[in-house]
Structure 1
């Protein structure tokens, strides 16, 4: 132990260890998908921050741990953003500096049982505050939210229908805090065990009492994934391949066909020949086709990414323009200041334009669909609003071909399971190059996924559901609750500090020579 303490005395060694500890939770996400590891992945980081010699050093431990977490979660961006990936990780990692300080404040030294009980609520709330801030679209959005690691766990998906992915993050952090206390603070093991029991009780209660979606009816939906198409004329050849695959769906009684993001590289107003070919496909298959156009608009300035519904007579007029764009990938924030990113990586040379509102489309036969484009499936509020507006099926059109051989495609597809569970609506995740997947109203997989090695069209019988989940009705109550917990703790700490300051004895007055003054002098 003395050797470890001496080794950690070096600020750089301690910072390196914090970065490694912060990176550990990424193993709970796809591709490793060690979902159970999330329950202990934060323990090394917690143990390090609680032993910091000062509150300032604990904040530095939080910052370095946040840097490691963000870098590991977005490591697949390195080939595109290069050194700027480290800059982004460092900036976002700073959000965990207050969390590191909180860890030492509540668990440092020999904490009382009261502080341990407070830690079980305050530390998860502090984590959620960091996730909330970095989930702003301009900071990269909620990619890699800790609770999202539980997308395969049935009990967790049921909890998501009650409090969203935020509730999962809160409970996962609470479990880690309890385990850290069991490991390091013997005198506080009783409240730690009580915390573990409480999490188990909440999970069990949710499993028993959380309302299940009322399923009824099915929609036959097909996904078209063309696979990798490279070369100078890739947009034309990709369309040809998608057309070929779509023709294979004729006679399969499909109700809707979904193509991936950027599946059409030309504005249909400028290319009426493509619009006619899509209409012919709709007539041949007997289904409307949802394509995604990534092109300069003919009716307004700028480049848009748009979900466009095409029927047997051509485009139906239903169109959704992507609202939340990928920072650096589709636009450069504060381009006048950060435009240099385009010279060191593959940042967007021209900013895409934003849509103004979400859209629910009528896809025929009474089926109402709520489209999102790529990055937007990471935002719980977008799918929740579509469910509120009456969407029967949620759809995400995506393209992760740039990151084909990384962990990104699998992690992106997993988000659809959470969005389905949160809203009680099935969700279809359609991509150009994989991973494409479909999930039922409870977040359960429907049929096999299309991996990154597939070029195929596949049909799914998607179960439909009715009614709304508590999360759709109540919204982000778990986030607001976390902020209330933090505010209440802050007020209590301020009151205690003031009370202690009043109770301190006043030091005796001293003479000019520094000795205590005597009565009468």
Structure 2
């Protein structure tokens, strides 16, 4: 340990160690999906930051760790954004600089039991506020929030139904903080053990107090088919992709399907400009006996600009139900502050023209009274969007997605895993239908329904999706954990301010006037 401490006294070595320590939690996410790793992956970073010689150095360690975390989480963007990926990681990583200062303040040196007890609440709260800030769509959205690493863990999904992915993330950071205390702060182990017990108690309370969603009143199941075209490259690919999707959909005839869902950008032409395609889609609905939800990525004939839109088609053509994507992928679908950052298009595959945004979420009637709530790609990362759809009465959540640009990376599996979180949070089944994989379906508790369609698959699969009723605490109360965390930081900051003022007053002490002589003049020392 002493030799490691000496090695870390060199600034660049310490910074490099922080970058690697910050990247460690990414192994808990798909594709590695080592979910258990998340519960201790932050410990090396926490131990490094608490040992920082100064507060400024702790902030730098936090920044470097945040850079490593963001770069590892988004490494699959490198072929598209090239050097700009490092710029984005550095900008977002700066959010962890104050967190580094916070960790050192509470855990540095020989902390008292009181400071450790505070750290077990304040440090996770600081992390949660960072995730809240970076979840703003303009900063890239909530991709890779820590709680999402637990997408396949049933107890964690039950916790998500109470406080969303946010509460799961808070508990993960709390456990990591407690483990770091057990490793490095021996005199204050009692609060750490208490924190571990409290985490187990919260998980148990969520399990008992938030039962899984109950089946709908009639025990209904709906049969939803996912059509995944697979990779179609080369000249004329939009037309050839449509032909393949049409052929795959025809195979569903006679299978008693209630709804057919195509992936994002499955139709590359505006249906108003191409009535021939609208007629072909209408014919498919008559053959299969089910409406078809397609996704149009094209310049609109009735409005200026390019939109990505979920469009429902029935036996007579488009039904009029249309949802225009509201939250666009930075650089992929628009360039933020294009006048300033437009140069990104010259060094990577950033959008040459900004897509236009929709203005509101919609529910669609997919026939036989089935109400579905569509989202497009990136939007399934936002917990609030699926929550609002569930509040408005959606029985099934749908996400039409495409990660074909990142086909051989971790991105498709990461994206598909988000459906489990959204289903568990809302108590509604979720269908994640993609253009080239990974497509997946989850029940109202977040458990998978049937096998996935992987990135090497071109085909159609029918899923029997059980409907559910009831309202989860997360839908009822919303994003309360990050705002509670913000309140914790405000209270702690105020308490620290009062404490600092008191210490300064004690240090200055009362002013004692000098002694006076018989003639009234002040006595001087040594005279």
Q: TM-score, normalised by structure 2?
A: 0.97
Gaps of 5+ in 1: none
Name the residue aligned to 1:78. Answer: 78
1:441 aligns with 2:444: yes
**How far apart are residue 194 of structure 1 and its match?**
0.4
Distance 1:186 1:443 in 2: 39
Q: Residue 413 of structure 1: which of 416, 420, 424 is its match?
A: 416
Q: Which runs of 5+ in 2 are unaligned?
A: 515-521
Q: Report SS of the residue matched to 1:327.
A: coil
More off after superposition, 37-46 vs 497-506: 497-506
Q: Distance in 2 between matches of 1:506 and 1:391?
A: 65
Note closer, same or farther for the CA distance 1:3–1:518 as it changes in structure 2 (3 Å cut).
Answer: farther
How far apart are the structure 2 equivalents of 1:17 and 1:166? Answer: 27
Q: How large is the RMSD of aligned CA atoms in angstroms?
A: 1.5
1:384 touches 1:472 (CA, 8 Å); kept in 2?
yes
Task: Give the match for residue 399 of structure 1.
Answer: 402
Q: Distance in 2 between matches of 1:105 and 1:383?
A: 38
Task: Return the offset for 1:510.
Answer: 13
Structure 1 match to 2:273: 270
- Matching residue within 261, 279, 297 for 1:258: 261
Distance 1:107 1:142 in 2: 28
Number of residue-to-residue matches in the alignment: 517
Deviations 1:210-235 (A, max 9, x none): 13212131110000001000011000
Cα distance between partner residues in 1 of 2:523 and 2:230 = 88
What is the CA–CA distance in structure 1 between the aligned matches of 2:207 and 2:290, rounded to whole Å? 38
Tell whether 2:496 aligns with 1:490.
no
Q: Does 1:47 align with 2:83?
A: no
Of the three residues 336, 340, 345, the one matched with 2:343 is: 340
Q: Look up the SS of the partner of 2:296 in the other structure.
A: strand
Secondary structure of 2:467's partner?
strand
Which residue number in structure 2 is paired with residue 142 of structure 1? 142
For 2:472, the equivalent position in structure 1 comes to 469
CA shift for structure 1 position 517: 8.5
Distance 2:262 2:471 in 1: 28
Measured in 2, the distance between the counterparts of 1:517 and 1:138 equals 68
Q: Spell out, residue by residue over 1:234-275, the C-alpha distance to the aligned partner (whole angstroms, 9 max, x if none).
A: 000000000000000000000000000000000000000000
| Displacement after TM superposition at 1:169 (Å) | 0.6
Aligned mate of 1:349, from 345, 352, 355: 352
Partner residue in 2 for 1:112: 112
Name whichever of 210-219 and 249-258 sits farther off.
Answer: 210-219
Cα distance in 1 between the residues matched to 2:323 and 2:205:
39
Give distance in 2, aligned partners of 1:510 and 1:298: 86
Q: Is the partner of 1:268 in helix, strand or coil?
A: coil
Find out whether 1:518 has 2:524 as its counterpart.
yes
Asked if residue 59 in structure 1 is aligned to residue 62 in structure 2, the reply is no
> What's 2:458 paired with?
455
TM-score (norm. length: structure 1): 0.98
Residues 11 and 517 (structure 1), Cα distance of their counterparts in 2 relative to 1, 3 Å cut: farther
For residues 502 and 436 of structure 1, do their structure 2 counterparts lie closer, same or farther at Cα, with a shift above 3 Å needed? same
- Separation (CA, whole Å) in 1 of partners of 2:171 and 2:524: 60
- Between stretches 501-510 and 51-60, larger displacement belongs to 501-510
Measure the CA separation in 1 of the matches of 2:299 and 2:392.
29
SS of the residue corresponding to residue 394 of structure 2 reads coil
Of 327, 332, 344 in structure 1, the residue corresponding to residue 330 of structure 2 is 327
**Distance in 2 separating the partners of 1:507 and 1:84:** 57
Q: Secondary structure at the match of 1:499?
A: helix
Matched, 1:315 2:321: no
Deviation at 1:509, TM superposition (A): 9.7
TM-aligned CA distance change 1:150 to 1:263, over 3 Å: same
Q: What are the within-5 Å matches in structure 2 for residues 29-428 of structure 1?
A: 29-215=29-215, 216-428=219-431
Decide whether the 8 Å contact of 1:122 with 1:486 is kept in 2: yes
User: In the aligned structure 2, how far is the partner of 1:46 from the partner of 1:262?
Assistant: 43
**SS class of match (2:220):** strand
Moved beyond 2 Å, runs of 4+: 505-511, 516-521
Could you tell me how far apart the structure 2 residues matched to 1:426 and 1:194 are? 36
3-state DSSP of counterpart to 2:177 = helix
1:45 and 1:65 in contact (8 A); partners too:
yes
Whether the 8 Å CA contact 1:509–1:517 is kept in 2: the answer is: no
Kindly indicate whether the alpha-carbon contact (under 8 Å) linking 1:510 and 1:517 is maintained by their aligned counterparts in 2. Answer: no
Q: In 1, distance between residues paired with 2:177 and 2:374?
A: 38
1:391 deviates by: 0.4
- Contact kept, 8 Å, 1:425 with 1:441, in 2: the verdict is yes
- For residues 276 and 69 of structure 2, the distance between their equivalents in structure 1, rounded to whole angstroms, comes to 48
Secondary structure of the corresponding residue to residue 307 of structure 1 = strand
SS at match of 1:504: helix
Alpha-carbon distance between aligned partners in 2 of 1:78 and 1:53, rounded to the nearest angstrom: 34
Q: For the residues of structure 2 that align with 1:179 and 1:433, how far apart are their CA atoms? A: 41
